[in-house]
Amino acid sequence: MPSFSELSLSKPVLSALNRIGYEQPSPIQAASIPHLLDGKDLLGTAQTGTGKTAAFALPILSKINIKDAQPQALVLTPTRELAIQVAEAFKTYAGDLKGFHVLPIYGGQDIGGQLQKLRRGVHVIVGTPGRVMDHLRRKSLKLDALKTVVLDEGDEMLRMGFIDDVTWILEHTPAARQVALFSATMPRPIRKIADTYLNNPAEIKIEGKATTVASIEQVYWSVSGVNKLDALTRILEVEDFDGVILFVRTKTLTVEVADKLEARGYSAAAINGDMSQQLRERTIKQLKDGQIDILVATDVAARGIDVARISHVVNYDIPYDTEAYVHRIGRTGRAGRSGKAILFVAPRERRLLRAIEKATRQAITAMELPSKEQVNQKRSEQFKASITETLQTQKLEFFHNIVEEYLTESSASAEDLAAALAYMAQKSKPLIVSEGRSRPAETRSKSQHDSADGRREAKHKKDTREPRKAKKIIDETGAEVEMEAFRLAVGYQHGVNPGDIVGAIANEAGVDSAYIGRIELFDDYCIVDLPTGMPKETFQHLKKVRVRQVPLAIEKTSDKTKSKKRKGDSERTAPKPKPKAKAKAKAKKKAPRDKKKPSATKNATKS
């Protein structure tokens, strides 16, 4: 398998891939990229979850003309979720292409914002067929400069009844454009489109070879309302594990997650493609010898690892390639032992979960996050076990003497003394999980409520004013993102902090944390700025999402204001003008209209 650097991709694209830590192309990427860079049409047959997005996005970005802010590539997807995901992938891969603009367009989103961005200029359009047709009919989307058309998940578009729309769109594209069609299967209507609209295409077929081991228990956790790292540590507290391999997508994340696990008291280490062979071998030996318990790895770095004590494999990031999933979980359940594979799945990654189940021909069971009570019970059991082990293995005569002296000198009972010693021993890691505030809210500084990047505000306030208006934010391409304010029914009294809210919205609504604006915390609610045009299904879903066991019950602040007025609540009156302002207003009234002072612009024009 060649490396990305051997595929003739542009320097900015290779730089971005190196920065985000992608190490080696998947089979569909290695086979497709050279043909697409050469300008050939392509017909690719590959299952969902094989890395098709990068297969067409990387060559498109390598050939893009940044100076020409017209649509040069059009990607058609069957669903808006996939459109958003593909557009985000383009942004990630174009991180070092200054001035690059990609626009996802789909139904259910404010068309005004789309029109505004189209007028400003974009290089790549990712959209669903219906909304793309709408823009073509309005003439708001012009395809004169179009060089490449990608049809992603062709069989899914056929299943959803979009084939006629797709052919209509293809009829409105320039004759000389390049076409790439990707489909998991090749039914007759898809083959007909290929024969009609593709010019002597290169054909690529990636066969699925996924099989799994029966001795491996497979479960998934639907990422919901809790930060992934918090969820991971809660799972690790309850699971009886020996050794764990934790898989993430990028080299950068291996170090980041390993450091955070170390900070939480776990013996963890990172392994990735940047490590020397000597360091890699030493780290694996430490895992074998029990010096570390958790290895945080990328797919490439974990190849060839055969450690008998691996009881669990955790897919912290779901793999895009179904075969990669099989290779990952194959690290456990070896030598006749049983093993367990845990998969984290965000709402918009459900299609990848379905692809894995289809490829492996096995259903993956949903798991519930361990409750606070389960964690408390497990901590208590472990503490008791450590006491038993200490009694059986340690010489305690010296400590017997100290205890007897203390009981003689004080009025404490043996039970009270034992409880005090237990408290002292577990002070750094309490046996009871506390989900409330560690200190009264009024004693906390503002910086303790702010997020790490400093872009959000969180203030402790009482409910004494009308909801504020949302501020616009600037995205990574320099464009303004329209925002609106939402009210969530969680606040300080529920023990909530801004990180909880960001995690819940990012995981459940699929909103990149960079697009979550100001967060203001109050006693029993909070206000958060989010991009306008949230899909109705996402909005309804967020109402039921729980943070700290409390439903968000999200609502727009504008709707809240309207409901107050309907109930007859008194409206806020405008503040009375100050005396100086009154005098100015009177003088303005008395001044005759024809004696108005000419503006500076008019004077300049006359001169």
pLDDT digits (tens, 9 = 90+) for 243-285: 999 999 888 889 989 988 987 788 999 998 788 878 888 898 8
pLDDT-derived band at 240, boundaries 50, 70, 90 = confident
Residue 462 has pLDDT above 60, yes or no: no
Can you tell me the distance from the alpha carbon of 38 to that of 61, in angstroms, rounded to the nearest whole number? 13
Q: Which helix (H) or strand (E) holds 34?
A: helix 27-37
Q: Which helix (H) or strand (E) holds 266?
A: none
Backbone phi and psi for residue 529, each to the nearest 5 degrees, phi listed first: -90, 130
pLDDT-derived band at 475, boundaries 50, 70, 90 = low
CB 63 within 8 A of CB 163: no
Instruction: Report the amino acid identity of residue 205.
Output: K
- At 567-578, the pLDDT tens digits run 444 333 334 444
Instruction: Report the amino acid identity of residue 413.
Output: S
Pairing of strands 102-105, 473-474: unpaired
| Among 395-404, 543-552, 596-605, the range of highest mean pLDDT | 395-404
C-alpha count within 13 angstroms, C-beta hemisphere, residue 46:
29
Can you tell me the distance from the alpha carbon of 272 to that of 14, in angstroms, rounded to the nearest whole number? 18
Burial class (CB in 10 A: 0-12, 13-18, 19+), 297: buried
CB atoms under 10 Å from CB of 296, counted, come to 27
**Which whole number is the average pLDDT over 2-8?**
87
CB 216 within 8 A of CB 332: yes
CB 193 within 8 A of CB 229: no
Question: Which of the two residues, 434 and 214, has the higher pLDDT score?
Answer: 214
∠ Cα 367 370 371 (to 5°)? 130
**Which pair of tokens denotes residue 334?**
């070896």
Beta strands (DSSP E) in 171-238 are 178-183, 202-205, 216-222
**For residue 454, is it left (φ>0), alpha (ψ between -120 and 50) or beta?**
left
CB atoms under 10 Å from CB of 385, counted, come to 10
∠ Cα 377 494 543 (to 5°)? 105
- pTM of the entire predicted model: 0.50
* Residue-range domains of the chain with CATH: 4-205 (3.40.50.300), 216-370 (3.40.50.300), 373-425 (no CATH), 441-566 (3.30.70.330)
Question: What CA–CA distances, in Å, run from 449 to 102, 495, 523, 550?
Answer: 33, 12, 14, 19
**Which whole number is the average pLDDT over 580-606?**
45
Who contacts 84 (Cβ-Cβ below 8 Å, separation ≥6)?
104, 106, 348, 510
- At 64-91, the pLDDT tens digits run 999 999 999 999 998 887 888 899 889 9
pLDDT-derived band at 334, boundaries 50, 70, 90 = low
Can you tell me the distance from the alpha carbon of 86 to that of 96, in angstroms, rounded to the nearest whole number? 17
In the chain, % of residues over pLDDT 90: 29
**Which whole number is the average pLDDT over 440-469?**
38
Give the pLDDT of residue 181.
Answer: 95
Residue 117 has pLDDT above 80, yes or no: yes
- At 488-520, the pLDDT tens digits run 988 877 778 787 888 888 877 777 777 788 888
Residue 169 has pLDDT above 60, yes or no: yes
For 343-373, give one letter per residue: b (16+ CB within 10 A) or e: bbbbbbbebbbebbebbbeeebeeeebbeee
Give the pLDDT of residue 473.
Answer: 66
Tell me the average pLDDT of the chain: 79
Give the pLDDT of residue 213.
Answer: 62
Can you tell me the distance from the alpha carbon of 581 to that of 591, in angstroms, rounded to the nearest whole number? 16
Give the pLDDT of residue 211.
Answer: 58
For 449-475, give one letter per residue: b (16+ CB within 10 A) or e: bbbeeeebbbebeeeeeebeebeebee
